[in-house]
Amino acid sequence: MTSRKQLRQSIRRQRCAIGLREAGSCAEQLAQYVCAGRFANNSRHIAAYLASDGEIDPFPLIQRLWQLGKKLYLPVISPFSKKKLWFARFEPGDRLVFNRYGIPEPERRRLIKPCNLDLVFTPLVAFDTRGHRLGMGSAYYDRSFAFLGRRTRLHKPKLVGLAYEFQKQDTLPVNSWDIPLNAIVTETAIYRTSK
């Protein structure tokens, strides 16, 4: 069985090997799937991310959501608690700065807590159809959304992973702190989980 570290390295290499034209086409197809899947219909405050390290690019999706009048947010490393994310409002034309990992964040910080979001599109390295997600290994998303595992009534925000189809695995090892996704969208499919 491949270790999490080996799987992470292998898929990251595959992601980075995708050509610009193919990556752009996949990003557009993913945006179409998300919008056809009605994920955003009842969501006003939506978080996404800006692609890095070969991740599938959600920017075409972000542009469509802006056109629908949605309020968009990007993850920022929390200034209040270590190893957690808050989310900064992101509007067209906003200036971006790089955080300590080289990931762009809005320079102007109008922050909200993760619990105030309706929908979150997450990056990932690998996923399975049960909603398990393998991230980059820092567990920022798992820590930031750990409250979802403790809730019995409210289930907001919904977590939807975005990925290339080749990132799908038959099964992933699960840690006790992993927070499962409600769905995963690729350039060719929508996988809804039983969560």
Domain boundaries, position 112: 4-192
pLDDT < 70 positions in the chain: 1-2, 151-154, 194-195
Tokens 């980075």 label which residue? 16
Q: Tell me which H or E stretch contains 27.
A: helix 20-36
107 contact partners, CB below 8 Å, separation of at least 6: 94, 95, 96, 97
pLDDT tens for each residue of 101-154: 888 899 877 889 999 999 999 999 999 999 999 998 888 999 999 999 876 666
Give the domain CATH number at 169. Answer: 3.40.50.10420
Domain count of the chain? 1
The pTM of the full predicted model, rounded to 2 decimals, is 0.93
CB 117 within 8 A of CB 159: no
Q: State whether residue 23 is helix, strand or coil.
A: helix
